[in-house]
């Protein structure tokens, strides 16, 4: 009991640092996702490539996770997080240079470095569990994700001030991101997390790590990956195309920024109680609820098209769809992360977490690529593109829902 208390006291200190990191340097992600597609449409040689910068960020995150996770297990989380913040700073510098020169391909290089930061940020949620007791793990994950609430406020508001502060649109936003990453590099010095040797197995039986194939045969691991993948990919699919849809429907870039801000708030506000809900109702119930709310988000967006005059979505329908999208992502993704964290041993975390994020962000990459194509190149208008984006959610929700039903019908194990 004494040891658990000591561990959780240490864990709470690390959670506080990670919440600060999520709030401060995490603000760059809503900033970049709000303006990335708009900047891309300004620079891209073809409108179908407008969301390619967002896709490159997610692709980079996918390809970074498999080597970054084992690197952190060897050298410690702090090393990996410092590397991520440094890469975010370099990415913002290159993106700013691409905007200044009007060079789309240089802008994409900057996006790749930003993706390395995004991959490192994805491991904040796992780092929160490294020194936590089993009882505190879901709450630790939830609290760290809640740090995104401040990012949801700081990022879009900073965008409002900075995106048109200079002659070249959006240049000021990327210069601000450089400063955010510098602050983050200083913040990580306060982390007190172990290196991999600290979590080494204590006997020969524990020392045998499962192969990737064996891990993917674990029902809890595979279902956690599927639900996390679907939750994140669908959130990205819709969010990436939202600024283009809002502006394409005749509203302003400031409206798009406010809608993304509301969406990101909805992503993180539930985190204050998601961990408690998981402890109370079980992780599978919260994941199921998340998928249902994601389905409601698509329905709200489509209803906005059907009910508005001349098929023109209203701002209310954009807000409703994106707020539900954020809440559904929160329950689905935090639930999946909690299930995964409880499904492997400490010495397997480098492989399991890297494999998870590679698969999740691989699908998110495909979703962001599909987002631009569906939005700009399916049908002859933004309305038709927006409808196609939301209809595309259906088969993936069916996949994740089916996986949860399959897991629930199996002989019961610990939730």
Asked, for residue 260, whether it belongs to a domain, the answer is yes
CB atoms within 10 A of CB 360: 29
Judge contact between 345 and 215, C-beta under 8 A.
no
Q: What is the pLDDT of residue 6?
A: 47
Q: What is the CATH number of the domain that holds 32?
A: 1.20.1250.20
Work out the average pLDDT over 235-246: 85
How many domains does the chain contain in total? 1
DSSP codes of every residue in 74-86: HH-HHHHHHHHHH
Identify the residue with better confidence: 254 or 297.
297
Residue 200 located in a structural domain: no
For residue 414, tell me if it sits in a domain. no
To the nearest 10°, the Cα dihedral for 229, 368, 54, 233?
Answer: -20
Give the single-character DSSP code of 189.
G
pLDDT tens column, 291-341: 999 999 999 888 877 766 555 677 888 899 999 999 999 999 999 988 988
Of 63-67, 160-164, 285-289, 411-415, the least confident? 411-415
203 domain-assigned: no
Backbone torsions φ then ψ of 135, nearest 5 degrees: -70, -30
What does the alpha-carbon distance between residue 274 and residue 292 come to, in Å, rounded to a whole number? Answer: 16
What gap in Å lies between CA 168 and CA 99, rounded to an integer? Answer: 7
How confident is the model at residue 153, as a pLDDT? 82
pLDDT at residue 313, as a whole number: 73
Which two tokens mark 408? Answer: 């629930």
Confidence at residue 3, expressed as pLDDT on a 0 to 100 scale: 46
Q: Which helix (H) or strand (E) holds 64?
A: helix 52-75
Which segment of 130-134, 138-142, 182-186 scores lowest on mean pLDDT? 130-134
204: pLDDT strictly greater than 70: no
Domain of 93 in residue numbering reads as 2-195+209-409
Query: 45 to each of 41, 42, 101, 105, 192, how far by Cα in Å?
Result: 8, 9, 14, 10, 47
pTM for the complete prediction?
A: 0.73
Q: What integer pLDDT is reported at residue 412 of this predicted model? A: 63
Predicted confidence at residue 348, as pLDDT, reads 74
Q: For residue 204, tell me if it sits in a domain.
A: no
Structural domain includes residue 330? yes
- CA distances in angstroms from 61 to 66, 84, 290, listed in the order given: 9, 10, 24
């Amino acid at each position: 009991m004494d040891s658990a208390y000591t561990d959780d006291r240490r864990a709470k200190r690390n959670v506080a640092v990670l919440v600060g990191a999520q709030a401060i340097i995490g603000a760059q992600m809503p900033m970049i996702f709000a303006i990335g597609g708009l900047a891309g449409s300004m620079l891209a040689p073809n409108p179908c490539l407008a969301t390619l910068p967002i896709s490159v960020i997610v692709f980079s995150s996918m390809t970074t996770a498999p080597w970054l996770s084992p690197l952190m297990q060897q050298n410690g989380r702090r090393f990996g997080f410092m590397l991520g913040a440094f890469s975010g700073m370099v990415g913002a510098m290159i993106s700013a240079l691409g905007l200044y020169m009007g060079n789309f391909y240089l802008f994409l290089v900057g996006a790749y470095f930003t993706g390395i930061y995004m991959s490192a940020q994805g491991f904040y949620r796992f780092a929160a569990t490294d020194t936590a007791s089993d009882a505190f793990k879901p709450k630790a994950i939830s609290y760290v994700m809640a740090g995104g609430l401040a990012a949801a406020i700081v990022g879009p508001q900073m965008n409002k001030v900075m995106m048109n502060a200079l002659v070249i649109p959006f240049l000021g936003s990327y210069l601000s991101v450089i400063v955010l990453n510098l602050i983050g590099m200083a913040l990580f010095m306060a982390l007190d997390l172990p290196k991999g040797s600290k979590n080494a197995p204590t006997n020969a039986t524990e020392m045998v790590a499962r192969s990737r194939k064996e891990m993917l045969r674990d029902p809890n691991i595979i279902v956690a990956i599927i639900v996390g993948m679907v939750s994140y990919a669908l959130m990205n699919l819709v969010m990436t195309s939202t600024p283009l849809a809002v502006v394409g429907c005749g509203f302003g870039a400031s409206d798009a920024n406010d809608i993304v801000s509301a969406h990101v708030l909805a992503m993180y506000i539930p985190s204050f109680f998601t961990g408690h809900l998981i402890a109370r109702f079980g992780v599978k119930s919260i994941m199921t609820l998340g998928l249902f709310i994601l389905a409601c988000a698509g329905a709200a967006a489509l209803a906005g098209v059907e009910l508005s005059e001349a098929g023109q979505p209203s701002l209310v329908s954009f807000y409703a769809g994106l707020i539900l999208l954020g809440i559904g992502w929160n329950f689905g993704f935090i639930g999946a992360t909690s299930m995964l964290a409880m499904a492997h041993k400490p010495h397997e975390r480098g492989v399991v977490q890297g494999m998870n994020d590679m698969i999740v962000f691989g699908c998110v990459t495909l979703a962001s690529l599909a987002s631009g194509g569906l939005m700009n190149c399916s049908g002859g208008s933004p309305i038709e593109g927006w409808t196609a984006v939301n209809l595309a959610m259906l088969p993936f929700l069916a996949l994740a829902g089916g996986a949860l039903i399959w897991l629930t019908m199996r002989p019961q194990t610990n939730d």
